[in-house]
A = this chain, B = another copy of it.
Amino acid sequence: MRPSAILEAAVYVDDLSEAERFYGGVLGLELLAKVEGRHIFFRCGEAVLLLFDPKATEVPPEPDARLPVPPHGSRGPGHLCFSASADEIELWKTRLAAQNIAIEADLEWPRGGRSIYFRDPSGNSLEFAEPRIWGFS
Residues of A within 8 A of B (CB): 1-10, 12, 27-30, 32, 43-50, 52, 54, 57-58, 67-84, 88, 91-92, 95, 104-105, 107, 109-110, 117, 119, 124-125, 127-129, 131, 134, 136
Contacts and interface: CB of A to CB of B under 8 A. Distances in A.
A5 B46 contact: yes
Copies of the chain in the assembly: 2
Contacts of A32: 134
A8 B79 contact: yes
A29 B4 CA distance: 9
20 contacts: A1-B92, A2-B28, A3-B27, A4-B45, A4-B83, A4-B84, A5-B82, A6-B80, A7-B83, A48-B134, A58-B77, A67-B107, A67-B109, A71-B125, A72-B77, A73-B76, A74-B74, A74-B75, A74-B77, A75-B76
Contacts of A49: 6
B44 A79 contact: no
